Amino acid sequence: MTNKTAPYHQLAHVYDRMMSHVDYRGWRDYILQLIDASGKTVDSLVDLSCGTGNLLSFFKGKIRNLAGCDSSREMIEIAAGKRALSKTPLFVNDITQIAIAAEQVDCALFLYDSLNYITESSSLEKCFKEVRRILKINGMFIFDVVSIRHCREYYADFHESEYWGGEGYTRHSYFDTKNSIQHNDFRIVIRGRTFEEQHIQKIYSQSDLEKMLINCGFLVYGMYDEFTSDAAGEESGRIHFLCIKK
């Protein structure tokens, strides 16, 4: 029997294995480069899509005050069990209603195309306004998205699977070009039980995101091609946004 569950409800339990190829130290170093390029001082940082906490743990010793949140309770529970994050505040949160008081944060992160999980423009606008609310004046908002070109090239019909000790996952990705929707269907096996999760992501254009950010009170300081200081463009696969609260 296959059980259908919400995104990351069961995938959380195999997430670290699935993402073992990711260079989290490299991600951290790139974020620190963006912070340095802005000329701002960051004493407090919140990862708004911290997942199981892998990236957040690499900021220990680099930034004094850290916190992490995620919409998935299962992901947060795994993060909370890691020794490196034992003293870091972690909480479950809706990105459109962030449980942080106004003007408390120097830098907010929303990485690894987490923003693409917000599939409605109205909800995305609420997200941007909430992030702006929690940031101090001149605070930074750093996020990234994948491009339509990237989805067409790599995920039009993508399959992968990995199993170990009777557990694992199968993933099928496909792209709805007409509606700019990326589908990721997972089949997850844990302790002899099989689960299915459907992950849906909206792929926004760079120009639409820039316009919405400006309308929500941000200065778009830079939009960068994948892990570089080069300006993002039509050929970019991943675009990093560095935004400042005006």
Judge contact between 184 and 173, C-beta under 8 A: yes
192 sits in the region (left: phi over 0; alpha: psi -120 to 50; else beta) called left
Helices (H), 49-205: 54-57, 73-80, 121-134, 148-154
Tokens standing for 237? 């696969």
Phi/psi for 71 (5° steps) reads: -75, -15
Phi/psi for 99 (5° steps) reads: -85, 55
For residues 150 and 111, give the distance between their C-alpha atoms in angstroms, rounded to a whole number.
Answer: 16
Q: For 134-176, what is each residue's pLDDT tens digit?
A: 999 999 999 999 999 999 999 999 999 999 998 999 999 999 9
Domains (ranges, CATH) in the chain?
Answer: 3-8+20-146+205-245 (3.40.50.150), 149-201 (2.20.25)
Across 234-240, average pLDDT = 95
220 sits in the region (left: phi over 0; alpha: psi -120 to 50; else beta) called beta
pLDDT at 1 over 80: no
Read off the pTM.
0.96
| Residue 2 confidence (pLDDT) | 87
Q: For 38-73, what is each residue's pLDDT tens digit?
A: 999 999 999 999 999 999 999 999 999 999 999 999
| Reported confidence tier of residue 37, pLDDT bands at 50, 70, 90 | very high
Residues of the chain with pLDDT > 70: what percent? 100
Across 218-239, average pLDDT = 97
pLDDT at 214 over 90: yes
For residues 224 and 147, give the distance between their C-alpha atoms in angstroms, rounded to a whole number.
Answer: 12
For residues 130 and 28, give the distance between their C-alpha atoms in angstroms, rounded to a whole number.
Answer: 24
Neighbouring C-alpha atoms within 13 Å toward the C-beta of 245: 21
